[in-house]
Structure 1
Amino acid sequence: MKTVEQTWHDTSLPAEQRIAALMEEMTLEEKAGQLGSFWIRPEDENQDGESNVAPMADTFAGGPSFETAIKDGLGHITRAFGTVPLTPAEGRERLVELQEQVIAANRLGIPAIAHEECLTGFTTLGATCYPASIAWGATFNPDLIGSMAQRIGADMLKMGVHQGLSPVLDVTRDYRWGRVEETMGEDPHLVGELAVAYVRGLQDSGVHATLKHFAGYAASQAGRNHAPVSMGPRALEDTVFPPFERAVREAGVKSVMNSYADVDGEAPAGSHRLLTEVLRGRWGFNGTVVADYWSVSFLHSMHEVAEDEDAAGLLSLEAGMDVELPETTAFANLARAVRSGALDQEVLDTAVRRVLAQKLQMGLLDPDWNPRKAWLGEDVELDSADNRAHARKMAEESIILLRNEQILPLRNPARLAVIGPSASQPRTHLGCYSFTNHVYSRFAEQQDYGVPMVSILEALKQEPALAGSQIEYARGVDFTDLDDSGIDEAVEAARNAEVAVVTVGDLAGLFGRGTSGEGCDVVDLSLPGRQGELVEAVLATGTPTVLVMVTGRPYSLGKFADRTAAIIQCFMPGVEGGPALAGVLTGDVNPSGKLPVQIPNHVGGQPGTYLASKLAWHTEGVTNLDPRPLYPFGYGSSYTGFEISELELSEKEIATDGTIQISATVANTGARGGAEVVQLYLGDAVSQVVRPRRWLAGFAKVQLEAGESKRVAFTVHADRTSFTGLSGKRIVEPGKFTALVGSSSEDLAAREDFWITGKVREVAEGRVMDTPVSMS
C-alpha cells in the first residue's frame, strides 16, 4: 500500500491521481502558499520610485521576509535573474539557493516555479537581446520568431527558469502608447501568426509561455499607461481577442496574464467574464492565470472595486486568477477566508490544482527533482554565436526601406556626415524589456551595456563599401535634453559632406525615464526632444539626406519626407542592429521589412490604424482632417523590384461554411535577389454592422532571385470573413466580398470579387482562424 507521498511522487500514475493525492495531504495554508510568490528586490527599489522596474514597486515595500513567505510553500519565485546584475553563474547559484530554501521550508518539499521576463531575450546580464516585438512584426516571418523563442527558452531552461512572461499580444490601437514597441503591430492576424510561432518555440524548449495582457490594454484612453479603455464588445471580439484565442487553441499556451487597464469599467484582474467565461469556458484554456504585478492589489487601490486588500484577493481568485505576482499581498489571508466562510474552499482548491498541474508538467513534483539538475557545467553561454547569427538575421529582415531617391545603397561617398543621437548610442537598438535598458542602465557606466554591441557609427566605419569615405560624426542633440547647441556642428558637418545620414528616434526606458517603453507615453507623434529641429536644420543645407529612424513607435514624418533622399525605418533591432543597419545602408543587405504599423503623415489625429471603416478613412466634404498615413500598413520597399499579378480564385461562389483558394504570381523584376511579402486582404461590400474597409487575411514572405517568380496560394475558409453581428453572436454573412493581393494595405493591384451564398450562419466556438499558404 503506497503512502500519500509515494502516490504523488509516482511518475507512472496519471497526473490527476498524483495531484489529488497531494491535495489530500495539504493544509489550507499549504494550499494558499501555492498561489503566492516572492520577489527579492534591491533595497533602493523599495525606497526610490525612480528605480522601479515594475509599476509602483516602491509603494509595496516592507512586506514579509522571504523566510516568512515560504514557510507553507510558494507558488513562484519572481525574477531571480532580471532584478539586479548577476553573472550567469551567480544568477544560477542564487536561484538554486532560493529553491533549496523553499523546498526545506515547506513540509512537503514542493519547489517553486521560477519565472522571468523574456520578451526580447532572457532578461538577464549577458544574454542575447533580440529585436523588440514591433520589429518581429516588421519581419512578417513567423519562422524567425519561432526559432528565436526556442533559443530564448533553451537558455532559460538551462538556468533553472520554468516560465517566461511573454509574449505580448496586445494589438496596437494608439501609437502614442509607450508600449507600442512591445506589440507586434496593429493587425490581429499578423499578431496571431507570430504569437503562435513564439509560444510553440518557447514551449518546445521546455519553458512555459505567458500571454499578456488579457485584454484590451493597448487601447487605453489617450495612449496613457494603465488608463481606462473605452471599447465595446465587438472591438474586443474582432480585434483584441483573436491573437489570444489562437495562442490558446492552436499553440496550447500554458499561462495567461491579465491586463491592468479597466475595459468599460471592468477590471480584468477581477473579471469572471474574461478569466473564466471567455478564456476557460469558450476557448478551453486549462493552464494558469497569473496576475500582472500588483494588479490584484490594484483592484482595491486603483480601480476601487474592492474595499481592502483581502477583498481584492477574494474578488480576483473567484474571477479565475490562480497566482498573485510578484509578491503575496492580496492573497495573504486566503486560508483564513476559507475558515471564516468568506471563501468557498472549492474555489481555492481549483486554483491550487491548476498550479500543481503546471508544476507536475515541469517535473517539479517528481521524486528525483532538485534545483541543481539544471546545472550543466561551470560556464553557460547565453550570448552564443548561433544566437548572434539569428539576432542579426532578425534585425536585417525587420529593417524597412520607406523611400529611396536612387541614393541607396551608399556608393562610397568621399565625405559622409553621420548625424544624430542614435548613431553613437547602441542602447537605442534595444527595447524597454531588454536587460540593458530595463535593469542594467541603472547600475552600469554609460558605455557599458552588459552585452557586446556596435553602434551604427562604428558599424558604418567598418563597412568595406565605405572604406574610401571620410566619415564625420556630429551628435547634434540628445533624445530628451532640450539643449540644441550642437545643431550648428551638425549643420556644418552636413554642409561639408556629399551625403548626410541622420539617425534619430527613441531611447527606451521605464515610467518616463525614456522616450519609449512602459509608462513612456507621448502627447503627440512629434520626434522626441529637439530631434525634429535637428532634421529640419540638416535638410535645410541641401545636402542629400538619408533619414534613419530607430524607434519603438511610428513618428510623424509628413513634414520631412519629400525633402529626404531616403528614409529607413528600423524598430529597435537588437544587439546586432548596428551592423544590420550598416549592411542595409551600403547594400550588403537587401531590405525586406514591412510596416506592422502605419507611419503617420501628421502628429495628431490619434488613435487610428489601418483597420478603419470608411468613415474613419478620408472623407472629403465631411472634415478638414485627413487621417490617411504617409506610409500604409504592410508597406516596405527594396533594392530590387517585384510585381504581383495573375490573381485567380478557385471559385466565384462558396457556401457560408465553404473554402476558396486565392492565388497570385509574384515575380522579381529587378537585378538582384530579394524578398517580397505577398499580402492578401479581404473586403466586405455590405454587412449588417460597420466593418473595416479591408483586413489582412493572409501573408507569405517569398524569397526570389532576380528574374524568378513563384505562385502563392492562400486557402481561405468562410470563417475568415466572420464578425460579431448585431445580435452579439459571431456570424458569416452571405454577400459580395473582394480579394485584394499586393505589397501593402494600399498597394493592391490584383483584385477579384467572390460571393458567399446561403443563409446567415452562426459560427460555433473553435472557428478557422488561420490562412494556410502554399508556394510553387
Structure 2
Amino acid sequence: MHVAVDQPRYLNATLPISQRVADLLGRMTLEEKAAQMICVWNEKVTKLLADDGRFCPDRAREHFGHGHGLGQVGRPGDAHGGAPPAEFAELTNEIQRYFIENSRLGIPVAFHDECLHGLVARDATSFPQPIGLASSFHPELVRRVYEVTAREARACGVHQALAPVVDVARDPRWGRVEETFGEDPYLVAELGVAAVRGFQGDREVGAHDRVIGTLKHFAAHGQPESGNNCAPVSISERHLRETFLYPFERCVREGGAMSVMASYNEIDGVPSHANTWLLRRVLREEWAFDGTVVSDYYAIRELWNRPDLYGHHVAANRDEAAALAVTAGVNIELPEPDCYADLADFVRRGVIAEAAIDELVGQLLAHKFELGLFEDPYVDPAAAESLVGCEEHAGVALEAARQTITLLKNDGVLPLQPGKHPTVAVIGPNAHRTMLGGYSGKPKSFVTVLDGVRQAFGADCEVLYAEGCQITIGGGWFEDEVVPSDPETDRRLIAEAVEAAKRADIVILAVGGNEQTSREAWMSNHLGDRTDLDMVGRQNELVDALHATGKPIVSLLFNGRPLAVANLAEKSAALLECWYLGQASGTAVADVLTGKQNPCGKLPITIPRSVGHLPAFYNHRPSARRGYLFDDTTPLFPFGYGLSYTDFELSDPRLDSACIAVGESTQLRVTVTNTGPYAGAQVVQLYIRDMVSTVTRPVRELKGFARVDLASGESREVVLPITPDSLAFWNIDKLFVVEPGEFELMVGFDSQASQSLRLTVSE
C-alpha cells in the first residue's frame, strides 16, 4: 500500500489501531468529538432525506453543514416504508459519501440496524424468533442464521447489529420473551456466543460479510417486576451474577462481543445507564471488555424524565443525565440527539471532563477503524440486490423453521399420511396469516399454514379452511391500539369452523397469540405484557366446539410467550409449539406434519399450568414449589421437553473419574440409541446439583447438552465435559468457587431427567 508522505497517521492502515485513534483524537475539536457520540434515526427523514426517501444533500447541509461529522445513523432503510436492497445500499453510500467529503477530517459514519432474527428490512430473509431458534438446542444452526443476517446487513451498508438478545426470560408475562433464547442462563450463553460468532466471526468485522454484534439488554431485563417491561429488577448481586450476567460474560469473554446495549431497567435502585458498577467495574474491569456501550433508545433521557412515559429521576435535567451516562461509560446516545447533543458545551461548563469524552470517543473510532470504514466505506448496490433474500439464505430459514417446531403431545395421529386423509380442515386465527413477531422485516414471501398444507397434501386431498375466530382485530406489531375481537363475529366463525370440521377426516388447528398479544411494551399506548397466560379471545371456545365434533385435532401453537394451554393439550390428539417460524412457516409445518421432517425441538422455557404458577422456571431453589391448595406445582410442559416420531434410549451414564479435586475436570459418557422406526435427532441434557453448599443452590441446573442425529437402530456415545465452571457458584463470600463435596449429575432428554450418578470433589 502506497502511503503519501504528508498523509495523516490515522489514514495509514498499516499502523496499529491504537496509534490511529490517538492521532485522530489529537486532531479533533471538541465539537467533532461530541458529534461522534450522537446518532440520528427518525430525524433522518427531515435532516438527511428527501420526501421520496432518497438522500437530500440540501437537507444534509442545512443540519450538518458545520462539518463536525456524525457518529451513527440508525436503521437507514426504514424510512418511507422501507427501501429494496439496492436502494438501501445506494442510500447508505450517499449518506456515507456526504459525511466523508463534507467533514473536516473525513470520519465515516456507522450505520446500525435491528437484526433480531434477520435484518429488519424489505426483502431480507426472515428466520424464526430467537425463542424458536433456542428450541433447536443447536448452536451451529444459530451461528449460521446470524452469519446470513450479517451478510445481508453488511451488503446494504449496515455495520452494527442491535442483537443478539441474551436476556434470560424468567417471567412469561413479559412481552419480550420471544426476543430471548429462553429461561436458562447456560442455554442462553451457548446460543448467544454462537450468535455473536455468526455476526462477527472471530472479530473479522473488516470483512464485507461481518457486522458488530450488540448484546442486549445489560442487565437483568428479563425479570421485570410484575412482568412489566422496563420495570425495576429486585434481585441480589448473587442472583444477578449467576443468572443474568452469566450469558453476557461468556459472550464477551468467549464470543468477543464488541458492543453492549445498556438496559432500561434499574437494579437495586440504580438505572443501568447510570450504573458505574455494572458498566465499568463488572463489564470493563472484571471482564476486560474493550468495546462500546450504546444506550437503549431514549434511555439516557429517562434518567431524568420522559413526560410521555416515565423518568427515573436520578437526574434533575438533561445535563445531569448526560453526565451520569458519560461517567458510567455509555459511548453513544441512541437514537436521536438529545442529552448528548450539547456535550461540547457541558465540557466547557465543567459538567463533564474532556478526558471522559476522549475515552468514549476513542472506543467508537476504534470500531470504525476495525470495520475498515476509512479504507473501504462503500458497498455494491447490485450485490445487495442479488444477495438479500436469496435462495441460499431461504434454505437456511427453512431448516431453522423445521428445527424449531417442538412436539408436545402425540396420541399416534402424527405423522399424517396425505393419502390417508381425503379431506383436511385447516382452522384457526393463525392458519392463514403472516406471522413473524417483533422486530421483523418484510421477506420476499411468507408461506402460511394453509398454503403449506395445500402444497404438501396435493390435489388429491380436499383442504377446507375456516378462520374459526379472531384473536384481535388486525393484530399487527406496529398497531398501537389493541382491539379485542367481536364475540358475535367469533361465534359465527366458530359455527363455520365446526361445519368444516364435520366434513373433514382430521382438523389442523392453528391458534395461540399474535404480534399484539405479546410484544415489546414501548409506550403507554403500545402495550404487550399480560396479567394472564390464557389464549386471548374465544380460542378456547373454538377448541371446545371442534372437540365436540369427535374429529382428531392436530393443534399448532404460534405465540411469542408460553401460554397456559391445558384445555388445548387435553383436547388435541397432537400438539406442536411453533413460536414464530419466519418466512418458511407453512412449509416447515407441513414437513413436520407429514413426517418429511421428524420434529426435534425442545422447550427453551417452561410452559406453566397458569399465571398463578409463576415463577415457573425449572432451576428453582429447594424451598420453592412446595405445593398449592387444590392445584399441582408441576409445569404443563417442562424446560427441555420435546417429543419425536421415533424413540430413544439412554444407557447408564458413567464418569471418566468419579472422584476429582477442586480445579480438575472429568467427562460424563452415555450412549443414546434410536430404538424407533424413523431417523431423528435427540438432545441429551446434563443437569447438576451441588448437594451441600454454603448458600442454597438450584435443585438442578443445565450444564451441558449435545444434539445427536441418529438413523433408526443407530447408537452413539455422547461425551459431556464437566469442568470447574460446571461446578462453581458464587459462594457465601460472593466468590466464584468450587466447593468440595458431593454433586448429583442427572442425564436425560428434558429437565426432569431421572438417570443420575454422583461426583465427589475433594479439596
Work out the CA distance in 2 between the residues paired with 1:72 and 1:237.
41
Work out the CA distance in 1 between the residues paired with 2:328 and 2:383.
44
Task: Say which of 726, 730, 740 aligns to 2:732.
Answer: 726
- Matching residue's letter, 1:695: E
Task: Name the CA shift for 1:626/1:263 in 2 (closer, same or farther; >3 Å).
Answer: farther
The answer as to 2:477 corresponding to 1:472 is: no
The answer as to 2:279 corresponding to 1:275 is: yes
Task: Name the CA shift for 1:417/1:379 in 2 (closer, same or farther; >3 Å).
Answer: closer
The answer as to 2:466 corresponding to 1:462 is: no
Shift of 1:496: 2.7
- Matching residue's letter, 2:511: V
Contact 2:176/2:520 (CA < 8 Å) preserved in 1?
A: no
The answer as to 2:511 corresponding to 1:494 is: no
Corresponding position of 1:503: 510
Shift of 1:497: 2.2
Corresponding position of 1:81: 77
Shift of 1:687: 1.6
Corresponding position of 2:743: 737
- Matching residue's letter, 1:548: L
**Secondary structure class of the residue paired with 1:559:** helix
How do residues 2-21 of structure 1 correspond to structure 2 at under 5 angstroms?
6-21=8-23
Shift of 1:219: 0.6
The answer as to 2:370 corresponding to 1:361 is: yes
1:235-282 deviation per Cα after TM superposition (whole angstroms, max 9, x unaligned): 110010111001100011111101111112110011101111110000
How do residues 593-632 of structure 1 correspond to structure 2 at under 5 angstroms?
593-617=601-625, 619-620=626-627, 624-632=630-638
Shift of 1:41: 4.9
Corresponding position of 1:482: 485
Task: Say which of 219, 225, 233 aligns to 2:223.
Answer: 219
Work out the CA distance in 1 between the residues paired with 2:93 and 2:751.
51
Shift of 1:509: 4.7
Shift of 1:157: 1.4
Contact 1:5/1:21 (CA < 8 Å) preserved in 2?
A: no
Task: Name the CA shift for 1:724/1:459 in 2 (closer, same or farther; >3 Å).
Answer: same
Work out the CA distance in 2 between the residues paired with 1:686 and 1:247.
30
**Secondary structure class of the residue paired with 1:692:** coil
- Matching residue's letter, 1:328: P
Where does the alignment leave 5 or more consecutive residues of structure 2 unmatched?
Answer: 48-58, 202-208, 306-310, 473-483
- Matching residue's letter, 2:275: S
State which drifts further: 314-323 or 33-42: 33-42
**Secondary structure class of the residue paired with 1:379:** helix
- Matching residue's letter, 1:17: Q
**Secondary structure class of the residue paired with 1:739:** strand
Task: Name the CA shift for 1:175/1:4 in 2 (closer, same or farther; >3 Å).
Answer: farther
Corresponding position of 1:108: 105
Corresponding position of 2:50: none
Task: Name the CA shift for 1:512/1:701 in 2 (closer, same or farther; >3 Å).
Answer: closer
Corresponding position of 1:52: none
Work out the CA distance in 2 between the residues paired with 1:13 and 1:382.
34
**Secondary structure class of the residue paired with 1:423:** coil
State which drifts further: 641-650 or 719-728: 719-728
Corresponding position of 1:151: 148
Task: Say which of 651, 664, 668 aligns to 1:662.
Answer: 668
The answer as to 2:173 corresponding to 1:176 is: yes
Work out the CA distance in 2 between the residues paired with 1:486 and 1:99.
53
**Secondary structure class of the residue paired with 1:209:** strand
**Secondary structure class of the residue paired with 1:462:** helix
Task: Name the CA shift for 1:125/1:286 in 2 (closer, same or farther; >3 Å).
Answer: same
The answer as to 2:574 corresponding to 1:566 is: yes
Corresponding position of 2:30: 28
Work out the CA distance in 1 between the residues paired with 2:60 and 2:162.
24
State which drifts further: 317-326 or 498-507: 498-507
The answer as to 2:548 corresponding to 1:540 is: yes
Contact 1:418/1:457 (CA < 8 Å) preserved in 2?
A: yes
How do residues 319-338 of structure 1 correspond to structure 2 at under 5 angstroms?
319-338=328-347
- Matching residue's letter, 2:195: Y
Corresponding position of 2:63: 67
1:646-700 deviation per Cα after TM superposition (whole angstroms, max 9, x unaligned): 2101112111211111110000001110000011111121222222110101001
Contact 1:135/1:570 (CA < 8 Å) preserved in 2?
A: yes
**Secondary structure class of the residue paired with 2:424:** strand
- Matching residue's letter, 2:537: G
Work out the CA distance in 2 between the residues paired with 1:514 and 1:357.
34
Task: Name the CA shift for 1:20/1:43 in 2 (closer, same or farther; >3 Å).
Answer: closer
State which drifts further: 10-19 or 252-261: 10-19
- Matching residue's letter, 1:225: N
State which drifts further: 129-138 or 97-106: 97-106
Task: Say which of 709, 716, 732 aligns to 1:710.
Answer: 716
Contact 1:479/1:530 (CA < 8 Å) preserved in 2?
A: yes
**Secondary structure class of the residue paired with 1:336:** helix
- Matching residue's letter, 1:524: D
Task: Say which of 299, 303, 315 aligns to 1:306.
Answer: 315
State which drifts further: 3-12 or 389-398: 3-12
Contact 2:407/2:643 (CA < 8 Å) preserved in 1?
A: yes
Corresponding position of 1:163: 160
- Matching residue's letter, 2:615: P
1:469-489 deviation per Cα after TM superposition (whole angstroms, max 9, x unaligned): 322111011122432231111
Work out the CA distance in 2 between the residues paired with 1:6 and 1:185.
49
Work out the CA distance in 2 between the residues paired with 1:670 and 1:277.
53
- Matching residue's letter, 2:322: G
Shift of 1:610: 0.9
Shift of 1:626: 3.2
Task: Say which of 685, 692, 703 aligns to 2:691.
Answer: 685
Work out the CA distance in 1 between the residues paired with 2:506 and 2:172.
31
**Secondary structure class of the residue paired with 1:315:** helix
Task: Name the CA shift for 1:2/1:585 in 2 (closer, same or farther; >3 Å).
Answer: closer
Task: Name the CA shift for 1:514/1:507 in 2 (closer, same or farther; >3 Å).
Answer: farther
- Matching residue's letter, 1:590: N
Task: Name the CA shift for 1:725/1:308 in 2 (closer, same or farther; >3 Å).
Answer: same
- Matching residue's letter, 2:515: A
**Secondary structure class of the residue paired with 1:81:** coil
Work out the CA distance in 1 between the residues paired with 2:357 and 2:656.
54
Contact 2:616/2:635 (CA < 8 Å) preserved in 1?
A: no
Shift of 1:623: 5.1
Corresponding position of 2:294: 290
- Matching residue's letter, 1:579: T
TM-score, scaled to structure 1? 0.89
**Secondary structure class of the residue paired with 1:397:** helix
The answer as to 2:641 corresponding to 1:649 is: no
Task: Say which of 250, 260, 265 aligns to 1:261.
Answer: 265
> Runs (4+) of structure 1 moved beyond 6 Å?
1-4, 42-45, 63-66, 510-515
Work out the CA distance in 2 between the residues paired with 1:499 and 1:66.
65
Work out the CA distance in 2 between the residues paired with 1:246 and 1:296.
26
Contact 2:175/2:520 (CA < 8 Å) preserved in 1?
A: no
Contact 1:4/1:21 (CA < 8 Å) preserved in 2?
A: no
Shift of 1:138: 0.2
Contact 1:4/1:22 (CA < 8 Å) preserved in 2?
A: no
**Secondary structure class of the residue paired with 1:327:** coil
Corresponding position of 1:453: 446
- Matching residue's letter, 1:536: D
Corresponding position of 1:762: none
Corresponding position of 1:232: 236
Task: Name the CA shift for 1:638/1:39 in 2 (closer, same or farther; >3 Å).
Answer: same
Work out the CA distance in 1 between the residues paired with 2:619 and 2:550.
38
Shift of 1:224: 1.1
Question: What is the percentage of aligned positions where both structures have the same residue?
Answer: 40
